[in-house]
Amino acid sequence: MKRDLISIADLGRPDLLRYLEQAAHVEALPAASKSRLLTGRVLAVLFFEPSTRTRLSFEAAMARLGGSVLGFAEATTASVVKGESLRDTARTVERYADILAIRHPREGAARVVAEATGIPIVNAGDGTNQHPSQTLLDLYTLKKYFGTLDGLKIALAGDLKYSRTVHSLVQALALFDAVEFTLVSPPMLRLPEYLRESGPAARAKFAETEVLDDAVERCNVVYMTRVQKERFPDLLEYEKVKDAYCIDARLLQHAAPGLKIMHPLPRVNEIHADVDQTPHAGYFDQVANGVIMRQAIMLDLLGVTP
């Protein structure tokens, strides 16, 4: 039976640990031996929304494993503009590729594609819902920093309503022991209730605040997010909250020792450039770990043992 990566809610703690182990193994392999693991395999990337990191890191991951890539970076160049359905697009592309990564503005789109096709599907972001490969690379980055995911004190800050990276990350970290979440957002951008009340998150410890400074002093990690302008039905509402939080080097003078600032990127105003040179900056480590984790994901879904 084929396997997909659609939602963190489909995974258990053993699955997450398996991905983390696989990524560590892949990272340790010499480049030369990695470069033949997926020779002859083809990755399709169907991106109906903009992306820099997710699409290019999937492409880099496949290229460095010896495979090749086809697809599109914007839907305007595909036959969907002529009215072709998502299912027909996917059923066509599965004839050309061995594995498919899709980003789409509609929640549930990746699952529709997974159910319509016989090749492994990776959800590279579906609307405000899920971004599971981002979460796996976030977990890998956290594991490298702290050695464990148990007992972390993590603040999630900014747009907790629309950020799919936060939604996936909450579901994943809730599977680990004694993780404490501090939710930092304006009232308008609070984490949806269903994410706190269902699954393992229902047993997790949450605190909620509108103030970031205290979290910087108490937490191991502050995970910043961009306020997602493209998701707001009313841009006047966006204007009210777009600059709600900004971390800068001055604020970090009171940071907990070893605090890491993470961000899925792209950032707009949430993290001042003066943080980049501090030991707290973790976001470009996340970028680098994205290639490794996406290699691990593709090898796993294609059933290739490195």
- The reply to whether 289 sits near ligand CP by the rule CB under 6 A is no
Q: Are 264 and 131 in contact (CB under 8 A)?
A: yes
Q: Where would I find the H helices in 175-282?
A: 193-197, 213-218, 235-241
Residue of 34, 41, 54, 161 with catalytic role: 54
Out of 37, 121, 255, 265, name the contact with ligand CP by CB under 6 A.
265
Residue of 34, 41, 55, 103 with catalytic role: 103
* DSSP, res 191: P
54 has catalytic annotation: yes
- The reply to whether 61 sits near ligand CP by the rule CB under 6 A is no
Interface characters, 117-136, with ligand CP (x: CB under 6 A): --------x--------x--
- Residue owning tokens 């070893």: 258
Which residue number, 55 or 111, has a Cβ lying nearer to ligand CP?
55
82 has catalytic annotation: yes
Q: Is 73 strand, coil or helix? A: coil
Q: Is 208 strand, coil or helix? A: strand
Strand partners, 123: 102
Out of 52, 198, 269, 278, name the contact with ligand CP by CB under 6 A.
52
Give CA–CA dist 88/42, Å, rounded.
Answer: 19
- The reply to whether 228 sits near ligand CP by the rule CB under 6 A is no
- Residue owning tokens 């004839």: 95
| Least Å from the CB of residue 52 to ligand CP | 4
Out of 13, 18, 25, 53, name the contact with ligand CP by CB under 6 A.
53
* DSSP, res 271: B
Which residue number, 29 or 288, has a Cβ lying nearer to ligand CP?
288
Stretch that binds ligand CP, among 26-34, 107-115, 167-175, 259-267 (CB under 6 A): 259-267
| Least Å from the CB of residue 168 to ligand CP | 11
Q: Which amino acid is at 81?
A: V
- Residue owning tokens 């009340």: 197
Q: Which amino acid is at 226?
A: R
Which residues neighbour 214 within 8 Å (Cβ) at sequence distance 6 or greater? none
Out of 51, 123, 130, 135, name the contact with ligand CP by CB under 6 A.
51
Give the DSSP letter string of 31-42: HHHHTTTTTT-E
Catalytic residue numbers, as ranges: 53-54, 82, 103, 131
Binding site for ligand CP (CB under 6 A): 51-54, 125, 134, 264-266
